[in-house]
Copies of this chain bind each other. A is one copy, B any other.
């Protein structure tokens, strides 16, 4: 903790006193009391951004799906499991406290299981398979960007295919001032990454580096853009 404070003391306080809300990790959508649908997001990128934002002087709230990561020092973490819970926690935070920046890093499940079982599903016969029906989850980022007077919203694009070609259109479709895409293929769980930032002016590539370094650069880019607003 002392070390974290010392390291932070050497960082420029580019987000001093600003409230930053971040989502991270996967969501877990129950099938029954023990089973569920999730994804391979480790939460590392979102947690790295939370730490970097705190080091830049921000007051950081991290709404996190299930991960094994420790909360970064100084960051307030709220645990959630499902996309709906993540949506509700984000909305509750925005209602409680004006947030200057919202960074949606979490890999939120598009669908939940509509017919989740309250009892554990039993393997009864050899040909008796579960029948799952799905329902669409709320789009958290879209809900936030549609608010009157929203925070500065940063979206993440998980797809890497043709990102440089379609990134700008994706940013407009998501209606965010800044969209961050992964150039590398499937960065879930990995310690490094390569990002491309799309804004109204074009794109900026953050070359391959560990996620902590990229997080510091991304936070600097966010701070620069929000300071001009």
Contact = CB atoms under 8 A, between A and B. Distances in A.
A130 B159 CA distance: 18
B36 A31 contact: no
B107 A130 contact: no
A37 B186 CA distance: 18
A6 interface: no
Nearest to A123: B110
A17 interface: no
A106 to B, nearest CB: 13
A67 B132 CA distance: 26
Contacts of A31: 37
Contacts of A159: 120
**Oligomer copy total:** 2
Contacts of A33: 186
A129 B158 contact: no
Given A111-B130, A129-B135, A158 B34 contact: yes
A133 interface: yes
A132 B39 CA distance: 16
Nearest to A127: B136
Interface in A31-72: 31, 33-41, 67-68
A68 B66 CA distance: 11
A52 to B, nearest CB: 22
A134 B125 CA distance: 13
A220 B14 CA distance: 58
A118 interface: no
A33 to B, nearest CB: 6
9 contacts: A34-B40, A34-B188, A35-B37, A35-B40, A36-B39, A120-B159, A123-B136, A126-B136, A129-B136
Interface of A: 31, 33-41, 67-68, 107, 109-111, 120-121, 123, 126, 129-130, 132-136, 158-159, 186, 188
